[in-house]
Amino acid sequence: MDNVSEHLEHLVRVIPPSVLEWFQPDAKHVILQAAALGLISHLFFKTFEPSAIGFVLWTVVLAGGEFFLFNQDLAGVTLSNVAVLSVLLFLGVYLATLTLSIGFYRLFLNPLRRFPGDTLPALTKWQAFWVAKYGQTHHFFWAQHQKYGYYIRVGPNELSVADIDALPIIHGNRSKFPKSPWYLKNINEPEPGLFSIMDWDEHKAPKDYDRIGQLVRAAGQIFETGERFDASLWTELLAFDVMGDLGFGDSFHMLESGELHHYLDFVHTALKFMCTLAPVSWSMPLLSLVPVVKRTREVTARFFAYGASRFKLRLAKGPVKNDVFGFLLSAREEGGLTDAKLESDARNVLLGGGDTTAVLMTRKPQDEVSGLFRDEPYDARVVNTLGGIILDGKHVPKGTKINVHGWSVHHAPRNFARPEEFIPERWIEDSGFKGVHNPSAFIPFSQGTYQCVGRRLALQESRMFLVEMFQNYDFQIAPELDPKAYVVATESYLTITKPALPVTVSKIVKT
């Protein structure tokens, strides 16, 4: 300890006295020094933005360095003469200056200031965090687009686009825009699966059903009892049972029990947890260091644990190509896929093919609310610009996050006339429908490299569902259901969380 003190004292002696004067615990010097360093830090961070953990470590090192300089006479340090308050003053002024400098830049100097939008989102993403917490991102973005137009600023470094003409630039097959930090690997996820891979080249490299009969029989049993049929619930049971079969060679047996498997609770809770934090994705690495809601942490842990157990059971069967996972196992044997990545993709198979398909099947057959079928918010993808581009005649600098918001694209009157109404004739040629109809603006599965890999499966499953169900039964929406209220009640956590959709079932008598 004496040797350390001697070295530190020697270091202090070689520093010129004029420099040391700036590090005396004098309020004026402390404030000026902290303010200057705050401005310099902002200039540095604009080019080399630190991670959340990196910034915390930098702050700790900075505080330690200032503590040393403010307490040069280490041999005589006592509790009565340590300049702790000077260090706290320094940190307070430093962080305040850094915050004000960042805020000023975002509002008045950032190139994105030329795009319209509310002031608060331009300053911080914490408003988006609050909106996402309640699953209202799809409604919020659509309201912003209605207010400001097709190109809006929704974050300090983020744009939302509802112009279909920009889709080829951002999501076209030749676009090489990487994914944004939104797709940082999930907490407790050892390796990112295909969904979470952010590098473009790495992402592109991996590249008749009895369950529907069970659902038809379940509808028949409900018809006989006279009870109402919850279309939201039963289509979700169907979709996840199908994906259990296709993903792991065994369903969740929910159509047999008529109840949600506990894994679906894991799915919805984990998605809500992750999507709430997505607007402030930089904070995700810190979550392992701070406490969160106990149930959320427990459910998220069980979500990963259950997926791991199903993965191990399916892994033991080997690469038999009778399900989706069989093809992934074959790819592993050819090289390039680790067990950890396969386990992550196993969860993605269930999620991507289950929840999203359930939304589609819930909406399409219901006349009063099937117009919602064109309003999938989960088709939005967030990408980072590789270099500066021009959007809406304005320069967008490198590193800007751009979100093509499908919900807003589908609601735009210049793409679809009377978008809130269910008008199936709009999709039929020579039907006599009059009004704007732009099929290229229909993007429920996104486009390009990052489009949904299960698109054909979802459409095929939905077609089979419609044919089997509506050949046998007629469904009528419960009279008390308000279609508009049903839309408002939906919540978006990557996929749609739906309220109950009660319908009455009547058997079709075939003659």
> Binding site: which residues?
452
Instruction: Count Cα atoms within 13 angstroms, Cβ side, for 61.
Output: 6
Contact 254, 240 (CB under 8 A): yes
Burial of 252 (0-12, 13-18, 19+ CB in 10 A): buried
Cα distance between residue 202 and residue 272, in whole Å: 27
Cα distance between residue 226 and residue 206, in whole Å: 49
Strands (E), 107-157: 151-155
- List Cβ neighbours of 159 (8 Å cut-off, separation of 6 or more): 112, 115, 151, 152, 153, 391, 396, 400, 401, 402, 403
Q: What CA dihedral angle connects 381, 237, 344 and 334, to 10 degrees?
A: -100
Contact 481, 342 (CB under 8 A): no
Cα distance between residue 91 and residue 383, in whole Å: 35
- List Cβ neighbours of 311 (8 Å cut-off, separation of 6 or more): 248, 342, 343, 346
Cα distance between residue 145 and residue 135, in whole Å: 18
Cα distance between residue 261 and residue 240, in whole Å: 9
Residue closest to 406 by CA, chosen among 453, 440, 361: 440
Q: Is the dihedral of CA 237, 271, 182, 189 positive or negative?
A: negative
Strand partners, 230: 502
Pairing label, strands 158-161, 401-404 = parallel
Phi, psi of 473 (to 5 degrees): -140, 150
Strand partners, 253: none
Burial of 434 (0-12, 13-18, 19+ CB in 10 A): exposed
Residue set of the binding site for heme: 452
481: amino acid identity, one letter: L
Instruction: Work out the angle at residue 126's Cα, subtended by the Cα atoms of residues 124 and 128, and round it to the nearest 5 degrees.
Output: 100
Contact 364, 350 (CB under 8 A): no
